[in-house]
Amino acid sequence: MFSKLNFNTLNPLLKFSLGVFILLIYACKGEVYKDKVPTEYFFRNSEVSSFRISPDGKYISFLRTNQNGDKNLFIKNVADKKELQLTSFEGKSIRDYRWIGCRYFSLIVEDAACKDFGLYTLQSNGDDLDEVVFSNSVTKIDFIQKGNRSDNSSILFSMNDRDPERTDVYELSLETGEKRNIMSNPGNFIEWFADGDNVIRLARGSESTNENWYYRSGNKEGFKKIVSNYFTTNIKPIAFVKSQKHTIYALSNLGRDKYALVEFDCNNGKEIRTIYETKDADILDFLYSPKIDKVVYVSTGLGKGKIHFLSPNIEAYYARLNKRLGTDIIEIVDHDELEHNIILRAYSDIEPGSFYLYSSKKDSLRKLSDINSKIDSSQMSVMKPVSYKNREGVNIHAYLTLPKNTNRKSCPLIVMPHGGPYQRTHWGYDAEVQFFANRGYAVFQPNFRGSTGYGKAFFNAGLRKWNENIQNDVEDGVNWLIENNMIDSARIVAYGRGFGGLTAINLAIEQPHIYKCVISYSGILNLFTYIKSTPLYYKPHRYVIEELLGNPEKDIDYIKSVSPIFNLKKLNRPVFFFQGGKDARANMVETNQFLRELKKYNKEVEYVLREDEGYKIGKFENKVHFYNAVDNFLKSHLK
């Protein structure tokens, strides 16, 4: 009655058609057998990162990461390419570092749990590594950007060692090692800005739900308040204009919905002129040239990141480099004082990218390093900018990555809400997204209301609306994909990290008809404890934090409604939950309670705990274990 099909006897055209059909069937089960890339390739610790160049352009510095995720500092001579390792930290990593002139470095070092910090200095030849400040989890240390990079005499930094709730300004002499307090916090200052002479002349403060800006014209004067607005109306300083003492370049949304590039008069707290603005989106990024004292381009987060050039010379320069590198995005990472030697990063959605050293005088380009040489762009999937209307007619921007070699109508979907909670997803290479796409899953990343980059009205519409506007926007996006036959509506999963993990669990709780299962990577479980455990140095922000997340004494019902730990009876989908034992944001007692309650209600849960990890997995072997476990979980629940 039935004969066995002999594939080898078919004619070539039918054989090809049947082969493609079989491939699509298996691919749409989330198993891409052709061009399946090993998990290890996606999640290798980037060998080198954080490239910088000395002010004289003679040396390049960078961080190299070992298999345990520890980052150490290296330096390379531009001329002879000789390399020298400067630090050998184990069990801790360099979080940030700066050249101080051409002779010194300053480093901020932290452990995996982000509980112990140290401020170090060392010479550029590797000598005299000194820990000048040691702190713990209640202490906050940050560099203050100096206006003059060539000054190698001292470091400016802020720290809250005098009062845990307030940061003061310190200057550290590199010659003597002396640390001195040059400015005590008057009470509510949270950020400091220096001019070209390295004098602190601008400060940001927090007062209730307002953000204030304070200015002084010189060292001998006191600060005066120049701007005060609800915290979503603000300015973001870029640089002091060298030829006009009281003027800064800034991004501003004063009197408008979107951030624009402006000149701002610090004496009277008013804009002088608008240099560039667009009605479509906030300006998110910019490039300022100290050499010519101008902002030479700005960009928004629309699509792939739309650039507007303000200098014809820079536009022509970018066009030449784009042609030579053949990539979508070129980012200037650092440059020397004369802007003759420039470190670039070139990347796209299907390429992690590479770092280059460009000499503008010689018009020469030298590759410094690939970010991940194991990735073959021909095996990666395109991240496509899309948009849709939500139920209220608001335009929502998102990114959709469809796996290669699949029939999209039968493709399972991973919905990936961003963290923050009030951040956004950007276009570009994302190892997680590409891993999932390579395994046959479409990935959908909506920038729902409350995301940054689309104006303050759009942002404000998401404030404390997680169980309303945010979830509605995600649901409307998923329905838009289904209506347009882009995915398999029967196989959808929610996946997120941090606040994205909280959102993912809530999506599965409130919309069980959509989601087959949920994956939470270091997800927040209880907003009450999260808000109350905010470090002391965030106390000046506490009213803003409560505007964003809720007041734990006044908004009890709301916070309970969006905290997964109080809604477990409604969670009727299998859960995969990862937690790092050193995650400073996590409460392990609550994590264990969460797991016990799930088992009590006979919920299906898979739990991965890594005692040696923090909020984000750092060790290579732990990354591979995690993503292989996630892959197996998806296979078992999206059959």
pLDDT, tens only, 384-405: 999 999 999 999 999 999 999 7
| Pairwise CA distance, residues 466 & 472, whole Å | 9
What stretch of H or E contains 388?
Answer: strand 383-389
pLDDT of residue 583: 83
pLDDT of residue 33: 44
> Is the per-residue pLDDT at 320 higher than 60?
yes
**Tens-digit pLDDT profile for residues 288-300:** 999 999 999 999 9
Which residue, 487, 330, 346, 504, is CA-closest to 417? Answer: 504
State the angle between helix axes of 471-483 and 499-510 in degrees (0 to 180), rounded to the nearest 10: 70
* Listed range (144-148, 297-301, 504-508) with the worst mean pLDDT: 144-148
Which residue, 418, 336, 351, is CA-closest to 381? Answer: 351
Read off the pLDDT band of 374 (50, 70, 90). very high
Q: Which residues of 364-392 are buried (b: 16+ CB within 10 A; e: fewer)?
A: ebeebbbbbeebeeebbbebeebebebee
pLDDT of residue 23: 40
pLDDT greater at residue 117 or residue 182: 182
pLDDT of residue 264: 98
**Tens-digit pLDDT profile for residues 75-129:** 999 998 999 999 999 888 898 999 998 989 999 898 765 666 788 889 888 888 8
**Tens-digit pLDDT profile for residues 21-69:** 334 434 444 444 457 999 999 998 877 899 999 999 999 999 998 878 8
Q: For the chain, what are the domain ranges?
A: 35-185, 378-638
> Is the per-residue pLDDT at 532 higher than 70?
yes
Residue 138's SS3 state is coil
The CATH number for 35-185, chosen from 3.30.70.360, 3.40.190.10, 2.130.10.120, 3.20.20.330, is: 2.130.10.120
What CATH class is the domain 378-638?
Answer: alpha beta
Q: Are 464 and 437 in contact (CB under 8 A)?
A: no
pTM score of the predicted model: 0.90
Kindly state the average pLDDT of the residues 565-581: 92
Kindly state the average pLDDT of the residues 621-636: 96
Residue 546, phi then psi, degrees to nearest 5: -70, -30
pLDDT of residue 138: 64
> Is the per-residue pLDDT at 578 higher than 90?
yes
Q: Are 564 and 506 in contact (CB under 8 A)?
A: yes
What's the whole-number average pLDDT of the chain? 89
**Tens-digit pLDDT profile for residues 331-355:** 999 999 999 999 999 999 999 999 9
The two tokens of residue 148 are 């003059």
> Is the per-residue pLDDT at 7 higher than 50?
no
Sign of torsion over alpha carbons 526, 527, 529, 534 = positive
pLDDT of residue 135: 64
* Listed range (87-91, 128-132, 552-556) with the worst mean pLDDT: 128-132
Q: Which residues of 492-509 are buried (b: 16+ CB within 10 A; e: fewer)?
A: bbbbbbbbbbbbbbbbbb
